[in-house]
Structure 1
Amino acid sequence: MIKSAITVSLVEEARGGPFVFWNGLQDAFEQAAKHGFDAVEVFAPGPDAVDPQELKQLCDTHQLSVAAVGTGAGMVKLGLSLTDPDAGKRKAAREFVKQMIDFGGQFAAPAIIGSMQGRWGGSLSRDAALEMLKEALEELGQHALHSQVPLIYEPLNRYETNLIKTMADGVQYLESLSTQNVRLLADLFHMNIEESDIADAIRTGGKHIGHVHFVDSNRQATGLGHMDYAPIAAALKEIGYAGYASAESLPIPDSETAAAKTIAAFNKYLR
């Protein structure tokens, strides 16, 4: 059964980004529980920024899970990338992600590689960047096994990366890895830009899809854009997807409305 989740950002440098809640963990968990979500996806400044005991208490109090943890603060705050031409910076990026994997693993929550994948250009060729990314995913995917969680890799749209942008390319790339512990994130916003048919792309992703960002075409909450969710929901059910559909959307016009719109659409199409 597909489960619902909603995002909270604790990273001040990312303010204005596509996260529903911005007023701390306690507020996010209270709001998520009030609206009937199953889990919260946490975008934290780093592995030591959240007290695990506090997070566990919030989960217990509100009967919620942690759906996933983001790693993008490594890029936003520290300027780290898994495809940086500097070997030392690549190593630091991998260490940051490992620590986030270990943090999330305490809650059976996978870590997401999005912006930290970087991009190619200048002196760095696309082939070289993809090889660097491959080495990182091999290492990090195996590391995630220690926490018994997958590593989630997110294809992004052309304005955010020039590496892997579609589900088909993501599947091909994952199937070139030795590790079997990396899954794809199907983000409906990015897919709306890059895919000719989102439902068909989900079928292509199939068993490789490990997380979904449930959002509308304009990066606002579901129902505030022009996305057609019926065929998307049918495709997710067809592939037997049983992970989270998480609201990574802008808090427009406000967090309360974004949460209400998302859960209404989730209950209509995916519950």
Structure 2
Amino acid sequence: MSLQIKFGVSTWLWTSPFQTAAIDELFSKIAGMGYDVVEIAVEDPDIIDGKEVKKALATYGLQAVVCGAFGPTRDLTNADPSVHANCFKYIEACMDLCVLWDTRFFAGPMYSAVGKARMLPDELRKNEWNLAVKNLKIVCEMAAVRGLDIALEPLNRFESDLVNTAADVVRLIQDIDHPSARILLDGFHMNIEEPSIEAAIKLAGDKLIHLQVADNYRGTPGTGQTNWNAYKTALQEINYQGTISIESFTPQNKELAQAVCIWHPLAESQDKFAIDGLAFLKQWVAEPAIIQQYSL
């Protein structure tokens, strides 16, 4: 069975925060490289003119995926309800952009704040889990009235102490018990947390609506140790029909680079990262199996 997928790339590969002034240069580049989808990382909705982005998407023939950024002021497990209210307001703005851009889901680790990694007593961790479930039910209702889903993303142990694995996120959406609750898996985090990428993808099953990839060290796909055959086997088995999107980060933005601990360039240039990564992924999808890593 061949994979019927689209290829995307994150705006974080080049810029942070994403803003309207960047769209023509960035979207023309992404479209010219041969991508179908631009994954827009919305850090601050207030600096994005949604209508201008919509026009640029049409001009360059791109579809959009929208991913959120969740720091301490957007933490649905915080003890302070005013922090929840701020997070809901942000999520609502992002969802409105999803509707405007004809995107069918809003994605990200929206259950808690990124970087919240602590050794907690079992009772406190259970309380935070229950708070995440309660608040994500509200988020799912916000999504449903807009005709959207949410794609919840597990993070590795250094970035979250709540949801690290496919099993964790499956349990989370079971507890949320709402049809809008779905899954995003990110190969970088799976590479740290999952004994088997193949098993993780199969466990997510038909709840998986978005997949982010880079190679194991967050570099160009095809240049590292990632077991791409495991991806293919699992994605074929679950009949995945979504986007496979390259997500990595630019070391040129020092604040972003520090947040994701990228201390040196991961490719000759960010453009070469995107071009070579897409070439590998297209070859990977087209061939029955990859026996050796793609030679750059």
Q: Give the 3-state SS of the residue equivalent to 1:117 in structure 2.
A: coil
- TM-superposed CA distance for 1:115, in Å, is 6.2
| Aligned with 1:30 (options 11, 14, 28) | 28
Paired position in structure 1 for 2:151: 152
What's 2:184 paired with?
Answer: 185
Please tell me the residue identity of whatever aligns with 2:54: K
Deviation at 1:229, TM superposition (A): 0.8
Tell me how far 1:249 sits from its aligned partner: 1.4
Runs of 4+ that moved beyond 6 A: none
Instruction: Decide which moves more: 135-144 or 244-253.
Output: 244-253
Number of aligned residues: 257
Q: Give, as a single letter, the amino acid of the residue that structure 2 aligns with 1:164.
A: V
Q: Does 1:20 align with 2:20?
A: no
Matches within 5 A, 1:191-206: 191-206=190-205
How far apart in 2 are the matches of 1:267 and 1:120? 36
Aligned-pair Cα RMSD in Å: 1.9
Deviation (angstroms), 1:7: 0.7
| Residue equivalent to 1:98 | 92
Partner of 2:68 in structure 1?
Answer: 71
1:60 aligned partner: 58
Q: What is the TM-score of this pair, normalised by structure 1?
A: 0.88
Q: Does structure 1 conserve the Cα–Cα contact (< 8 Å) formed by 2:108 and 2:153?
A: yes
Residue from 3, 6, 12 that aligns with 1:3: 6
Q: Which residue of 2 aligns with 1:266?
A: 281
Aligned-residue offset at 1:113:
2.7
Residue 222 of structure 2 contacts residue 280 of structure 2 at CA under 8 Å; is this kept in 1?
Answer: yes
1:261–1:21 CA distance, 2 compared to 1 (3 A): same
Matched residue of 2:210: which SS? strand
Instruction: Map residues 92-131 of structure 1 onto 2, 5 A cutoff.
Output: 92-109=86-103, 110-114=105-109, 117-118=112-113, 119=116, 121=118, 125-131=124-130
Q: Quick one: distance in 2 between partners of 1:129 and 1:231? A: 33
- Superposed CA deviations along residues 35-76 of structure 1, whole A, max 9, x for unmatched, are 11001011123223211221112111111110x22221x52x
Instruction: Report 1:117-266 matches (<5 A).
Output: 117-118=112-113, 119=116, 121=118, 125-251=124-250, 252-253=266-267, 254-266=269-281
The residue type paired with residue 265 of structure 1 is: F
Aligned CA distance change for structure 1 residues 202 and 49 (closer, same or farther; 3 Å): same
Whether the 8 Å contact between 1:2 and 1:241 is mirrored in structure 2 is yes
In the alignment, is the contact (CA less than 8 A) between 2:9 and 2:246 conserved in 1? yes
SS state at 1:131 partner: helix
Q: What SS does structure 2 have at the residue aligned with 1:138?
A: helix
> Cα distance, 1:259 vs. partner?
0.5
Structure 2 unmatched runs, 5+: 17-21, 251-265, 287-296
Q: Aligned to 1:175, what secondary structure does the other structure show?
A: helix
Aligned mates of 2:85, 2:130 — CA distance in 1: 14
- The equivalent of 1:16 in structure 2 is none
Q: Would you say the 8 A contact 1:144–1:181 is kept in 2?
A: yes
C-alpha contact 1:106 1:147 (8 A) present in aligned 2: no
Structure 1 residue 120, shift from structure 2 partner: 6.8
Could you say what secondary structure the match of 1:261 adopts?
Answer: helix
Per the alignment, residue 44 of structure 1 pairs with 42
- Please report the TM-score for the alignment, with normalisation by the length of structure 2: 0.81
Inter-partner Cα distance in structure 1 for 2:178 and 2:133: 10
Query: Any gaps of 5 or more consecutive residues in structure 1?
Result: 9-18
Larger Rg: 2
